[in-house]
Amino acid sequence: MSRSISLGKILESRELLYTLLLISVILPIIHPLGIPIAVSARTKAVYDYIENNLKPGCHVYFEIYYEVAARGELEPNVVALTKHLFDKGCKIVYGSLASFGVIVFELMKTTAADVFQGREYGKDYVFLGYVAGGESAAASLAKSIKGTVSVDNYGNRIENLPLMQEVDKATDFDLVIIASSGTDTFAYYVRQWYTPYNVPLLFAALSIIAPSIEPYVGAKQAVGMLVGQRAGAEYETLVGRLGLGMASMDAQSTSHMLVLVFIVIGNVVYWSQRLSSKRGGGK
């Protein structure tokens, strides 16, 4: 003889909750919903700076200094900034003072293939690859890229790339962007690019390290800072391309809403059972 299963018993199933929670996280990542989010003043200020100060044909140096584990927080910022710069007609020289920068750059290009579509390598952008030497390498690049790097990440001679015939030293760039999961990298560029050459710097940092580099922004040694995954989602909204940042925000929102729904339903079932018990003479 079959017996009906009460709603309370169903809700007590951990497997059901975990399954629905997993679905609520995975689906928005595969297909971003674009749940509206407010754009912070800090993120809007970065967007406005690029809009108002960079002209078509400008040159930007982009330091990629974060490991694969930090992609979730920093890659949305890198992709959204790259799209904005390309849309503005800027030319970008990418480089990395970290060996793992080569890996995350290639992963970023794969994830954002649409952003690089129609952009000619060597003319619109260049990737120098890994430049060993830490702060000394940063100082050397500021003095002369050609004097520091002979070939790019793909073995091309630097002097043969059209873009690299337009830029060589720090003062040839209109903006330097540092996307880093460590604090030291920001200090390298403040000391070696901003202080001696007064080149504008822009930071993209992990949420956990943002407070430690905030003084640079407060001292106007950087024009602004994008902080973590949330800033990436906000910038994606501003440039009109929803990516990993917005997908992650959607996943957080849907999973939080699911938990809230289960809390409400659980309380309704609990109090319904208590009321039924009292009516039946229970304590």
What pLDDT, in 10s, does the model give residues 131-157? 999 999 999 999 999 999 999 999 999
- List the single range of 5-14, 37-46, 92-101, 269-278 with lowest mean pLDDT: 5-14
- 178, pLDDT greater than 80: yes
Q: Are 164 and 158 in contact (CB under 8 A)?
A: yes
Q: Where are the domains of the chain?
A: 2-31+249-282, 41-242
Q: Is the pLDDT of residue 94 over 60?
A: yes
**Does residue 183 surpass a pLDDT of 60?**
yes
CA 40 to chain CA mean position, Å:
15
Q: What is the mean pLDDT of residues 10-23?
A: 66
Is pLDDT above 70 for 281? no
155-173 pLDDT, tens digit each: 999 999 999 999 999 999 9
- The reported pTM is 0.80
Give the per-residue pLDDT at 161: 97
How high is the pLDDT of residue 3? 45
Listed in sequence order, the residues at least 6 apart from 109 whose beta carbon sits closer than 8 Å to its beta carbon are 116
Domain 41-242: which CATH number of 3.40.50.720, 3.30.70.20, 3.40.50.300, 1.10.10.1200: 3.40.50.720
Confidence of residue 253 (pLDDT cuts 50, 70, 90): low
Model confidence pLDDT, tens digit, residues 209-252: 999 999 999 999 999 999 988 888 899 889 887 766 555 655 56
Span 77-83, mean pLDDT? 96
Higher pLDDT, 225 or 20: 225
Q: What number is the average pLDDT over the span 103-117?
A: 94
Does 62 score more than 80 pLDDT?
yes
